[in-house]
Amino acid sequence: MSALPQPLFASIQGAFEFIITPQSSNVTGGRTVGGIDQVIELTLTQLEVTLLALALSLLVALPVGLYLGHRGTGELLAIGIGNAGRAIPELALIAFMAAAIGVGLLNVTIALAVLGIPPILTNAFVGIRQVDRSSVDAARGIGMSEFEILRKVELPLAVPTLMTGVRTATINIVATATIAPLAGVLTLGDFIINENVYGENGVLAGAILVALLALTLELALAGLQRLLTSRGLKLKPA
Amino acid sequence: MRTTSKRARAAIAVLLALFLSLGVAACGSDDDDTTGNDEGGGGGAIVSNPDNGKVTLTVGSKNFTEQIVLGEVYAQALEAAGYKVKKDLNLGSETVALKNVKAGQISGYPEYVSTALTSFFEAEPEEVPADATEAYEEAKADFEKEDLTAFPPTPFASANAVGTLKKTAEERDLKTVSDLEGQSEEMTLYGSPECRQRIDCLAGLEELYGLKFKKFVPVDIGLRYTVLDKGQADLSILFTTDPQLSAQADKYVILEDDKEVFPAGNVIWVTTPEVVEEAGPDYEKTIVQVQEGLTLKVMQELGARVELEKEPAAKVAAEYLESAGYTG
């Protein structure tokens, strides 16, 4: 009957032990929790649901943002939705959709995509809008079609701004994917939500892992941005 | 160009639809239904003692409906006794709540005696005494070793239970959890995320009953009936105090826990000897007095008004105190 065997306060060392080796828990009746196998499993699900939600955000926001940016209209829509989208409570959204489509991967993907859409939409719109009008006029002058102008002139010049939106969206999504265990998808959030099961060290371990995953994604996207940015834009102005 | 604009328009349409549906979600119902509450046990009015005005008590609770209602009931009762009362009714789990009591962040909070024994003091679920007084004495002795104390239990007890639609129970001839043997492999079970690994939940169903389920799906506690209604879950972990079980008895049933994986627990107020000393005799007296009327039936009704009729917990608690004669 030694009470409260779990440490009262988390330690970095304890969190790393939790990540590597399964630990005992006082509510599982002897089953161990945590450890590298579970960490890998939950990390992969977190990554999966993040990428799915990001893909859905891009699918919805990119065409709209680019089109409106090219036309130069709909600023109210692009910026308005962008700002309104930030105010949506995710858990309420998940619960609302649970009544319509149930819980699970689809529910979580849509709920998280709602977080990804605003920054991508706004940045795509702004990115295209800020392209130097003389470049666009020159392209039109040499006989490019509107689609060619968008694809060959505006889009390449908008890449840095656009990618900033994608990176923001990714961070929003990967951080919020921690609530997915409340809707049937076991992500790293399981460690954070279930303090009773995993203990303080588990909570800290979950937070550390999510932060590492976010940093990794951020670095990967920064690399992608370098690859996508045309050489002309990388030159320092004389 | 044509195709681009068509696609763009489709995308706008999708976006607008999404936007509108969110608008609907945001406008949660806030109706002001005023059904009177004539239930409630006896007990005289709580007497306000001016001496108590020097003491500030912080009432804590965990973050689901039943706990929040309890938190409001205790907070308003202590206020009626003359204390200055602050509330912190959104503590995540029992470990968090207990830590807050120990650290003096809250003066006390309501805990299920079964949860206290299994979560804090490593009792196996089947070791939890069925008798409320016996379980309370055991928990109180354990708490004292931790320099904590607990007040006597409420009349009502709460437990987790395996629930299902009445239709499903009839089709599969389910009355007890043991009846699931041979059928559970083709059934999905939904429960709170922490249920998955707890011995007094899924782990217990697997180990003590020897059941295997087709799938266990973690969901927010607030969705425990939604997943049954939607037909997603064959089985869902419910609470015996759920208002739905009495209000819609023709729709939902719970399976009898014949091997005692889910210990029932009356609620005890967990606090520290320091707070007891500072707050004086009215502290325990008020808590014990106000919970006298909290029978299973009353708890289900209070829960129904908050959960099903969306009334604010503070208002429901205030009307309980008034109709039961604690305040006037």
CATH number at residue B168: 3.40.190.120
A143 located within any domain: yes
CATH number at residue A128: 1.10.3720.10
Whether residues B281 and B136 fall in one domain? yes
Distance of CA B309 to the CA centre of its chain: 17
Supply the pLDDT for residue B26: 42
The answer to whether B13 and B7 are in contact (CB under 8 A) is: no
Name the CA radius of gyration of chain A, rounded.
22
Residue of higher predicted confidence among B56 and A232: B56
Could you give the number of structural domains in chain B? Answer: 2
For residue range B126-150, list pLDDT tens digits in order. 788 888 899 999 999 999 999 999 9
The answer, yes or no, to whether residue B35 has pLDDT greater than 70, is: no
The answer to whether B191 and B262 are in contact (CB under 8 A) is: no
Whole-number percent of chain A with pLDDT over 90 = 72
A117 located within any domain: yes
Cα–Cα separations (whole angstroms), residue B11 to A83, B32, B33: 18, 39, 41
Cross-chain residue pair A194–B197, CB shorter than 8 Å: yes
So what's the ipTM on this one?
0.83
Whether residues B242 and B278 fall in one domain? no
Which residues of chain B from 107 to 166 reach within 8 Å of chain A, CB to CB?
A: 118-122, 124, 142, 145-146
Whether residues B139 and B273 fall in one domain? yes
Nearest neighbour of B142 by CB, restricted to A1, A5, A92? A1
Task: Name the pLDDT band for A25 (thresholds 50, 70, 90).
Answer: confident
Tokens found for residue A67: 């089109």
Task: Name the pLDDT band for B267 (thresholds 50, 70, 90).
Answer: very high
The answer to whether B237 and B195 are in contact (CB under 8 A) is: yes
Supply the pLDDT for residue B11: 56
Angle between helices B65-80 and B281-290 (to 10 degrees): 130
- Would you tell me how many other CB atoms lie within 10 Å of the CB of residue B283? 24
Q: Measured on CA atoms in the order A168, A170, A175, A178, is the torsion positive or negative?
A: positive
B212 located within any domain: yes
User: Best mutation site among A1, A27, A75, A128 for testing chain B: the one with the most B CBs within 10 Å?
Assistant: A27
B160: which strand partners?
B239
Cross-chain residue pair B226–A98, CB shorter than 8 Å: yes
Supply the pLDDT for residue A67: 94
Whether residues B165 and B310 fall in one domain? no
Q: Residue A61 contacts by C-beta under 8 Å, 6 or more apart in sequence?
A: A116, A117, A118, A120, A121, A124, B15
For residues A216-234, average pLDDT: 91
The answer to whether A170 and A156 are in contact (CB under 8 A) is: no
CA atoms within 13 A on the CB side of B326: 28
Task: Name the pLDDT band for B38 (thresholds 50, 70, 90).
Answer: very low
Last residue of a domain, one of B200, B225, B254: B254
A223: which strand partners?
none
Residue recorded with tokens 């309370």: B136
B86 located within any domain: yes
List chain B residues with CB under 8 Å of A35: none
**B216 is in which domain, residue-wise?**
160-254
B288 located within any domain: yes
Whether residues B234 and B286 fall in one domain? no
The answer, yes or no, to whether residue B21 has pLDDT greater than 60, is: no
The answer, yes or no, to whether residue A8 has pLDDT greater than 70, is: no
Whole-number percent of chain A with pLDDT over 70 = 95
Q: With CA atoms as reference, report the closest residue to A22 among A4, A11, A34.
A: A34
Supply the pLDDT for residue A58: 97
Residue recorded with tokens 């104390």: B149
Could you give the number of structural domains in chain A? Answer: 1
Supply the pLDDT for residue B284: 95
Whether residues B165 and B119 fall in one domain? no
Whether residues B220 and B150 fall in one domain? no
For residue range A157-215, list pLDDT tens digits in order. 999 999 999 999 999 999 999 999 999 999 999 999 998 899 889 999 999 999 999 99
Q: Which residues of A190-200 are buried (b: 16+ CB within 10 A; e: fewer)?
A: bbbbbbbbbbb
Task: Name the pLDDT band for A37 (thresholds 50, 70, 90).
Answer: very high
Supply the pLDDT for residue B106: 96
